[in-house]
Amino acid sequence: TKFAVPSYFPGHGEGIISLEEVFSTPPDLVEAFKSIVSYRTLGDWVCPPGWRIVGTTNPYDGDEGYKYNTFEVDLAVLQRIITVEVEPVFDEWVEWAQENGINESVLEFLRIDPVRWKEAPPRSWKQLSDWSFRVPVNQLAPIAISCIGEALGVSFIQFLVERDNTR
pLDDT in tens, 62-107: 655 446 666 677 787 778 888 888 888 999 999 999 999 999 999 9
Q: Rounded CA gap, 167 and 162, in Å?
A: 9
Mean pLDDT calculated for residue range 52-67: 69
Residue type, 40: R
Q: Rounded CA gap, 140 and 135, in Å?
A: 6
Which pairs from 81-85 meet CB under 8 Å and 24+ separation? 81/37, 81/55, 85/59
Each residue of 5-25: pLDDT tens digit?
888 899 999 999 998 887 777
pTM score, two decimals? 0.67
Each residue of 117-166: pLDDT tens digit?
989 988 899 999 999 999 999 999 999 999 999 999 999 999 999 998 88
Integer angstrom CA distances of residue 23 from 34, 57, 64: 11, 6, 17
